Chain A
Amino acid sequence: MLPAEKLTSVHDALSLVSDGAQLGLGGSPLTMNPVSLAANLILQETGNLKLVVAPIGGFVADLLIAAGSADSVEFAQLGFEELGMAPAFRQKTQAGEITVLDHT
């Protein structure tokens, strides 16, 4: 018997993510970020996410924070490497608008 097929549409895949979910993000600051998946998650307005970057994050975490999709982010490092700071992460952290769980 062949195993179950799991190839599906963006919409059906992202239905696995509920509001308020703890959401792990693959990739490192500027490499292999799940950008298209996250952008579609933003468009379907899934919110109050608790982000976890594993263990260092960058662009896609910042995009979700910028879009207002995240309540918190857990990280060891979050930035844009040689390009500098992750801007939305910095702004919302300084303004106290997201909870940061530092794992440095």
Chain B
Amino acid sequence: MNLVKGGFLLSLVSLALVGCGSEESSTNNGSSTGIEGDLSFYTSQPDEDAQKLVDAFTEKYPDVNVQTYRSGTEEVISKIKAEQKAGDVQADVLLVADSVTFEDLKEEDLLLKYKSEELSEIPSNLVDPDGMYAGTKVMATALVANTANVKEMPDSWNVLTDNSAKGKTIMPSPFYSGAAAYNLGVFTRNEPFGWDYFKSLKENEMTVTKGNGAVLQAVADGEKAYGMVVDFIVARAKAEGSPVELIYPKEGVPVITEPIGIMKDAENEEAAKAFVDFVLSEEGQELAAEIGYTPIRKGVDAPEGLQTIDEMNVIDADISELYQAKEEDKKEFETIFGQ
């Protein structure tokens, strides 16, 4: 019984300690840029890439202390919404996969309007007209093929419905990947695809898996021959030596833009704006290209193996329509792919 009391006291003491600990935060006066303090950055970028971005930013703004939280887009948004319900959103700046997700936050009035000066160099169709968020890079969903299994590289999305590829194709589930849900919305609203395309995919025994990573894995190890997948992870795997090839089909590709936005009740608005400016600036965009993404800013080159935004034939759809129809699209997808 002594043990119960001991444990309980111990937990009380440690709670009290934490309570005190949180008060200490370093305030560094006398900064050169005038921008300082803590900045809470929530993102879905891979950890390494987020770290490089934050390092480059703090080199320029040494008095800003950036706290990063990284997870999958779905987890990041769930966290923000839970924080909202608990009383106070902790994030200042947010950078996650796709604009439909941002549209949802915009709808809930969680975002701050900010039109950065850098926006003049960003294609206007990839920026929210109301200034709530802006794209930061371009990620196309393209075709991946296994070079050991596929002799002649295709140039069209039709290969996925071709008899020769029966049972050998794979795609991410729109129920688990926000990017896949976006692609579904775009494909079904564009000729020559529509829902018929997805019906033929099902007839051709398309496998649906959890996410883009699983698609790449299945194609790389030869379990499948073709996959529908986001382009940059294919370029990375190919550069490492995996037996995969990236193809941009001639009908065009849907793109997501990893938009960035500022939360409405951001505690450090100045630093948040400086961060957004930095990400969209020439310097920030060159960094993105160096890490391995297609930059969104005009005039910055794409990394090797990837097309630039000018080279791509982009297919898209109205964002707010996509947002409104998202649940129905997923339901329709389920009736086609359900058994």
The answer to whether A and B interact is no
